[in-house]
Amino acid sequence: MNQYPGKFITLEGTEGAGKSTNLAYIEQWLTAKGIEVVTTREPGGTLIGEAVRGVLLNIEHTKMTAETELLLMFAARNQHLQEKIIPALEAGKWVISDRFTDASYAYQGAARGIEYQRISELEHWVQKGFAPNMTFVFDLTIEEGMKRVKARGEATDRFEQEKQTFFEKVRLAYLNRASQSPKRYTILDAGQSLEGVQAQIEASLVKLTRGLK
C-alpha cells in the first residue's frame, strides 16, 4: 500500500466515462481543503512517459503485440513512479492519476488476454507493494461511452478503435476488481448526471480526508 505522507487517488473506467472532467473536480475539491495536489495521467506523466504514450496510442502501430503493449505500459509506469508520483507523496502532496495499474489488468489482461499472473509479476517488480489509497471506477455502458467519444469530435487513438467486445471485457474486469476490494474501490454510475457522480465522489473524499486539519 501507500506508506507515504501524501495520498494517491486513481481514476479508472472505459472510454468516455468522464474521468478527465471529474479529475478536475477532485483537484478543486481537495485544493479547497488546503491540500496540495498533483494531477497526472497514464500512460504519461513524465517526458519519457509521454513519449511512450505517443507510441502506444499511435493508430499506425497495428502490429504491436499485447506483450509489447504491456511492457511499454510498465516502463512508462516505472518512470512515472520514480520521477513524479513517489517524490510528490514523500513531500506530503496528494496525487490524482487518470489511470494506473488497474488499467493494465483490464486492458492488457482481460481484453488482450495476457495472464493476470504475468501482470502481477511486473506490478510487484515495479511497485514493490505500492498501491493507491482510493480508486474511483467510472462505470458506463460501452454504447454510451462510444457516443461521448464521437461527440467530442477528436481523432480516435489505437485503443478507441477497438470493437465493443474489447471494451465489454475491460468494463467487466474493472467491476470484478472493484468487487474484490471494496475498501479501496468506489464504483460510480457514470451514466447519471454530473452532479450525481460528483456527489458520490465527494462522499468518498470526505471519508478519505477525515481527521485532516
pLDDT on residue 157: 87
52 in a structural domain: yes
Segment 169-181 shows an average pLDDT of 97
Structural domain of 83: 8-209
pLDDT on residue 148: 86
58 in a structural domain: yes
Residue range 10-25, pLDDT digits in tens: 999 998 899 999 999 9
Residue range 114-154, pLDDT digits in tens: 999 999 999 999 999 999 999 999 999 999 998 888 888 76
Residue range 21-43, pLDDT digits in tens: 999 999 999 999 999 999 999 99
Q: What is the reported pTM?
A: 0.94
143 in a structural domain: yes
Task: Name the pLDDT band for 213 (thresholds 50, 70, 90).
Answer: low
Long-range contacts of 67-73 (CB under 8 A, 24+ apart): 67/114, 69/108, 69/112, 70/104, 70/108, 70/112, 70/114, 70/118, 70/119, 70/122, 71/122, 72/43, 73/42, 73/43, 73/103, 73/104, 73/108
Q: What CATH number has the domain bearing residue 194?
A: 3.40.50.300
pLDDT on residue 44: 98
Residue 37 phi/psi, 5-degree rounding, is: -120, 140
Segment 82-94 shows an average pLDDT of 98
Q: Tally the domains of the chain.
A: 1
1 in a structural domain: no
- Mean pLDDT of the residues in the chain: 95
3-state SS, one letter per residue, for the chain: CCCCCCCEEEEEECCCCCHHHHHHHHHHHHHHCCCCEEEEECCCCCHHHHHHHHHHHCCCCCCCCHHHHHHHHHHHHHHHHHHHHHHHHHCCCEEEEECCHHHHHHHHHHHCCCCHHHHHHHHHHHHCCCCCCEEEEEECCHHHHHHHHHHHCCCCCCCCCCCHHHHHHHHHHHHHHHHHCCCCEEEEECCCCHHHHHHHHHHHHHHHHCCCC
Task: Name the pLDDT band for 211 (thresholds 50, 70, 90).
Answer: low
